Amino acid sequence: MSTFPQTRLRRLRRTGALRDLVRETRLDRRDLVMPFFVGPDTRANEGLPALGRYSVADLPREVEAVAAAGIPGVILFGIPDAKDEEGSGAWDADGVIQQALRELRERFPELLLLTDVCLCEYTSHGHCGVVDEHGVLNDESLELIARTAVSHADAGADAVCPSDMMDGRVAAIRSALDDGGHESLPIVSYAAKYASAFYGPFREAAESAPSFGDRRGYQMDPGNVREALRECELDVAEGADVLMVKPALPNLDVIRAVRDRFDLPVAAYNVSGEYAMVKAAAARGWLDERQAALESLTAIRRAGADLIVTYWARELAPSL
Ligand SMILES: [Zn+2]
């Protein structure tokens, strides 16, 4: 192997054109998905514009801008006007997500409509399943989660994305979708979803903070990576079509491990806290938001993610 001075790695860094030519990882807007919050009314979020929410009537205008920028898909989160113990708004045929799906399906036949499937935005206690005095009940929650997924499929979703972290939910959803005539609808499983502090701004936006306890009894411990692979293995066996890791930046090694072990497409969720940190620092003039965002997303792709859910999708798309 030749070495310095014959070998000089700086040769290929000399100009922008050379650097572009040999770049190993590229960002493409076709790999990005933009999240949207749909609620009973429209509320802007000054500091974190992508975490504002829209009424069903106002949503299409925003989605139009995202579609026009070349983003292939959106993922929808619902905020109902009323919550109950079971989270029945989640599978209501006239729920906020179901209405939004029908509206968007009609107006944007080509756009990919993904939906987050969970109960936490719809339950009065804010947990991702039904609860009793002992905590969140796994098996009792499965049927409600599966029912929610089918209602999204019926309303026009292109893929459902279960994020509750109950054991067995992918199998329950797959079987309910198949029984409901949706055997072609893919499941994008939040397979390795960690109990993370980086969800903070999302919980505010989605009004889904638990009213008691926390989610560590079902979401993963941030210290674990082998367990993430077991989660993925089970989801693959249960019929998941895409595996997601969430959050992305604190878990780049997990994304890499999942990429190396499985041949399914890997998704990563660049979560609200990752977006908020950069926004806040940029607002103080401490870093350049655009460069920091591009670097973050590039790192997530380099770690092995095929697609990224990110609040920057809309802003960055025109330059990707
Ligand atoms: Zn949830």
Residue 215 in this model has a pLDDT that exceeds 90: yes
pLDDT at 207: 84
Residue 205 confidence (pLDDT) above 90: no
| 59 within some domain | yes
Is residue 126 left, alpha or beta, with left meaning phi > 0 and alpha meaning psi from -120 to 50? left
On whether residue 110 sits in a domain, the answer given is yes
pLDDT at 229 over 90: yes
Q: What is the pLDDT of residue 68?
A: 96
Helix crossing, 96-107 with 59-68: angle to 10°?
Answer: 50
Q: Which of 246, 259, 279, 301 is catalytic?
A: 246
Confidence of residue 204 (pLDDT cuts 50, 70, 90): confident
Confidence at residue 236, expressed as pLDDT on a 0 to 100 scale: 98
Flag whether 190 is in a domain.
yes
Query: Does 203 fall in a domain?
Result: yes
* Interval between CA 128 and ligand 1 midpoint (Å): 4
Region 191-202: mean pLDDT is: 95
Active-site residue, selected from the candidate residues 127, 182, 193, 314:
193
**283 is in which domain, residue-wise?**
26-319
- Give domain status of residue 3, yes or no: no
Q: Is the pLDDT of residue 208 over 90?
A: no
Distance between Cα 4 and ligand 1 center (Å): 54
Distance 19 CA to ligand 1 centre (A): 42
Residues with CB under 5 A from ligand 1 (ion): 118, 120, 128
Which two structure tokens, joined as six digits, stand for 149?
């997924």
Total domains present in the chain? 1
279 is catalytic: no
CA of 120 to the centre of ligand 1 (A): 4
CB neighbour burial string for 275-285, b if at least 16 within 10 angstroms, e if fewer? bbbbbeebeee
CATH code where residue 97 lies: 3.20.20.70
CA distance 82 to 89: 8
pLDDT in tens, 283-300: 999 999 999 999 999 999
